[in-house]
Amino acid sequence: MVQNIKLSLKYSTIEEKDIMKYADEVAEIHEELHKKSDDPNEFLGWLNLPKDYDKKEVEKIKKAAKKIQSDSEILLVIGIGGSYLGARAVIEALTNNFYNYLPKEQRKTPQILYVGNNLNPEYVNDLINLIGNRDLSINVISKSGTTTEPAIAFRIFRELLENKYGLKEAQKRIYVTTDSKKGALKQIAETENYTTFVIPDNIGGRYSVLTAVGLLPIATAGINIDELLEGAKFAQGKYLDRNLKYNDCYKYAVMRNILYKQYKNIEILVSYEPKLHYFIEWWKQLFAESEGKEEKGIYPTGAEFTTDLHSLGQYIQEGRRNLFETVLYVQEAMSDITIRQDEDNLDELNYLVGKGLSYVNKKAMQGTIEAHLEGEVPNIVLSIEKLDAYNLGHLIYFFELACAVSGKILGVNPFNQPGVEKYKTNMFRLLGKPEYVEANNKKEDKKQEKKVSKRQPKNKEGTKTKNKKYIIK
Ligand code: PA5
């Protein structure tokens, strides 16, 4: 089962010797991460998770997934950011392209639908209509237990569930994934006696896909979570080598930083697999929240080829030269379709007769890499053998570790996200959340005081006089 991710430098414009200049720095970062991995305050729980995961919890997840499969046509996953994207990334990558649209008999496992990742009323109303009368379970996921988007969605759909099944049955259909001790969601779960799964204290949202956060929805969709964890475990062992020469994960982290220093401050994760759409979304969140701070960081974005070659492709080829691409190349297609002879050949495609679509896709990729490189867009190519649970588990660990190391090379803390709070503070103030309104009033008062004291006339000594601002002599 041992499969590898291959990193190719060929189209990257970077030479091995330039990567090796970072060998000492990377070895130090490796030491630091591994030394602190058991420290509960360091958010490094994901580092040893594939080997050390809570086996009992995983058994409980499998049991819950079986129950949901047996009594529900739909699993509604409520969460946002790291509490949502990982599950969706894996489910969409490893199930049929049209999984949610398949007839029930063909799909065999529940439809997985998502809510609580936006605040759009039409989305929620459409979802309520889509669910209709069908049997439903809910997995609400929030580490803090207080995030507004999932909290509102949970309030709405919990009520829907209680109205549909009555309190007792609804209780059995709600699965809560949250912190072990704190947060409003934890409190609700305790009061209502919901089945609860724990997000370990030392694992942040975007590093949590291999905990219950991702595993319960993933298992419910019929995906083998043992294989996913096995692939991640293989990666954990493989990237334990602090020697940069033999560690492709660390090399990828270094290559990003080398390109960044060459003013290539936008990285596009490219895939030729439509199923990887949400994997790209997961990757974007992982790197953006980890690295985008202190006015630094590569802006992570994604492109899906060949469709985006007919939109973003123009910019990539000839726009501002501050881009590089990381191509996720899946070597083996899971199925293929052969192009057949057409007598008339009016579409002039007979030169492709006998070729598989996967062959055409591969040639499109080769042609694009060459073209973009010619257009001064370096391409890092990451190849995986095929899109299965084992390889995906490997890839998840690869990117998590690369992200942590890359952030450290950049000189930021890859495990916090202070910037996310700013919009929340404003939103809460505008919505009239009491403590935010009070805090804002205090802030305004202080501002006012400052303005007033600045306007105070100065005395002979040049210091401000107290309370004399309106006395004109
Ligand atoms: O990666 C992160 O930490 C964030 O994206 C969180 O996952 C996201 O904000 C949701 O937070 P919570 O799980 O507390 O609801």
pLDDT category, 436, cuts 50, 70, 90? confident
Query: Mean per-residue pLDDT for 65-79?
Result: 98
Cα–ligand 1 centroid distance for 415 (angstroms):
11
Query: Mean per-residue pLDDT for 459-468?
Result: 48
21 SS3 class: coil
Cα–ligand 1 centroid distance for 143 (angstroms):
7
State the catalytic residue, choosing from 55, 310, 458, 466.
310
76 SS3 class: strand
- 289 counts as catalytic: yes
**C-alpha dihedral over 91, 92, 93, 97, to 10 degrees?**
130
**Nearest protein Cα to ligand 1, atom 9:** 81
Tokens representing 112?
């997985």
* Alpha-carbon span 130 to 116, nearest angstrom: 16
Question: Measured from the CA of 147, which atom of ligand 1 is nearest?
Answer: 15
* pLDDT tens track for 213-242: 999 999 999 999 999 999 999 999 999 999
Tokens representing 454?
């600045």
Taking Cα atoms as reference points, which of 90, 79, 144 lies closest to residue 115? 79
Cα–ligand 1 centroid distance for 78 (angstroms):
12
* pLDDT tens track for 141-172: 999 999 999 999 999 999 999 999 999 999 99
Q: Where would I find the beta strands (DSSP E) of 265-395? A: 266-271, 299-304, 323-332, 379-386
Mean residue pLDDT of the chain comes to 93
Strand partners, 451: none
The overall pTM is greater than 0.85:
yes
pLDDT at residue 461 in the model: 53
Query: Mean per-residue pLDDT for 447-472?
Result: 56
- 143 counts as catalytic: no
Per-residue pLDDT at 271 exceeds 80: yes
Query: Among all chains, which residue has been given the structure tokens 């709600």?
Result: 174
Q: Where would I find the beta strands (DSSP E) of 9-95? A: 74-78
Cis check for the bond before 306: say yes or no (omega within 30 of 0).
yes
Ligand 1, CB cutoff 6 Å, lining residues = 80-83, 142-144, 147, 150, 204-206, 289, 417
pLDDT at residue 448 in the model: 78
* pLDDT tens track for 291-328: 999 999 999 999 999 999 999 999 999 999 999 999 99
Question: Measured from the CA of 207, which atom of ligand 1 is nearest?
Answer: 1
Which residues, 6 or more positions from 18, have their beta carbon under 8 angstroms from its beta carbon?
Answer: 258
DSSP code per residue over 27-38: HHHHHHHHHTTT
> What is the residue type of 247?
N
Instruction: Evaluate whether 214 touches 286 at the Cβ level (below 8 Å).
Output: no
pLDDT category, 470, cuts 50, 70, 90? very low
pLDDT at residue 472 in the model: 35
Query: Mean per-residue pLDDT for 442-446?
Result: 79
Q: Comparing 36-45, 177-186, 450-459, which segment has the lowest mean pLDDT?
A: 450-459
pLDDT at residue 421 in the model: 83
105 SS3 class: helix
Please work out, in degrees rounded to the nearest 5, the angle formed at the alpha carbon of residue 112 by the alpha carbons of 110 and 117.
160
- 30 counts as catalytic: no
Instruction: Evaluate whether 244 touches 22 at the Cβ level (below 8 Å).
Output: yes
Question: Measured from the CA of 141, which atom of ligand 1 is nearest?
Answer: 13
Tokens representing 183?
């947060």
Q: Which domains does the chain have, with CATH numbers?
A: 6-39+229-410 (3.40.50.10490), 49-225 (3.40.50.10490)
pLDDT at residue 469 in the model: 42
Per-residue pLDDT at 473 exceeds 90: no
Cα–ligand 1 centroid distance for 206 (angstroms):
7
**Nearest protein Cα to ligand 1, atom 12:** 142
Q: Comparing 166-170, 197-201, 379-383, 445-449, which segment has the lowest mean pLDDT?
A: 445-449
**C-alpha dihedral over 263, 267, 272, 274, to 10 degrees?**
-150
pLDDT category, 439, cuts 50, 70, 90? confident
pLDDT category, 3, cuts 50, 70, 90? low
- Of how many residues is the chain composed? 473
* Alpha-carbon span 81 to 129, nearest angstrom: 25
Instruction: Evaluate whether 5 touches 395 at the Cβ level (below 8 Å).
Output: yes
pLDDT at residue 87 in the model: 98
Strand partners, 78: 115, 140
**Could you tell me how far CA 109 lies from the centroid of its own chain?**
24
DSSP code per residue over 303-330: EETTGGGGTHHHHHHHS-S-EEEEEEEE
Better-predicted residue by pLDDT, 416 or 127: 127
The percent of residues in the chain predicted with pLDDT above 90, rounded, is 86
Which residues, 6 or more positions from 250, have their beta carbon under 8 angstroms from its beta carbon?
Answer: 26, 30, 239, 244, 401, 402, 405
In testing the pocket of ligand 1, which one of 46, 83, 199 has its CB within 8 Å of the most ligand atoms? 83
pLDDT at residue 450 in the model: 77
* pLDDT tens track for 248-267: 999 999 999 999 999 999 99
> What is the residue type of 437?
V
Per-residue pLDDT at 451 exceeds 80: no
Burial class (CB in 10 A: 0-12, 13-18, 19+), 54: middle
Per-residue pLDDT at 63 exceeds 80: yes
pLDDT at residue 465 in the model: 45
State the catalytic residue, choosing from 92, 149, 289, 291.
289
Per-residue pLDDT at 466 exceeds 80: no
Which residues, 6 or more positions from 47, have their beta carbon under 8 angstroms from its beta carbon?
Answer: 33, 34, 37, 236, 401, 404
* Alpha-carbon span 231 to 393, nearest angstrom: 5
Per-residue pLDDT at 288 exceeds 80: yes
Instruction: Evaluate whether 220 touches 212 at the Cβ level (below 8 Å).
Output: no
* pLDDT tens track for 77-101: 999 999 999 999 999 999 999 999 9
In testing the pocket of ligand 1, which one of 115, 144, 181 has its CB within 8 Å of the most ligand atoms? 144
Tokens representing 269?
């994760």
State the catalytic residue, choosing from 62, 172, 355, 424.
424
Question: What DSSP designation does 356 have?
Answer: B
255 SS3 class: helix
**Nearest protein Cα to ligand 1, atom 15:** 142
pLDDT at residue 124 in the model: 98
**Nearest protein Cα to ligand 1, atom 2:** 205
* Alpha-carbon span 420 to 205, nearest angstrom: 13
Question: Measured from the CA of 420, which atom of ligand 1 is nearest?
Answer: 9
Cα–ligand 1 centroid distance for 239 (angstroms):
26
Instruction: Evaluate whether 109 touches 219 at the Cβ level (below 8 Å).
Output: no
Instruction: Evaluate whether 144 touches 81 at the Cβ level (below 8 Å).
Output: no
- Residue 436 has a CB neighbour count (10 Å cut-off) of 17
pLDDT category, 41, cuts 50, 70, 90? confident
Give exposure, 73-102, as e/b (b: 16+ Cβ within 10 Å).
bbbbbbbbbbbbbbbbbbbbbbbeeebbee
Question: Measured from the CA of 204, which atom of ligand 1 is nearest?
Answer: 3
pLDDT category, 455, cuts 50, 70, 90? low
* pLDDT tens track for 320-359: 999 999 999 999 999 999 999 999 999 999 999 999 999 9
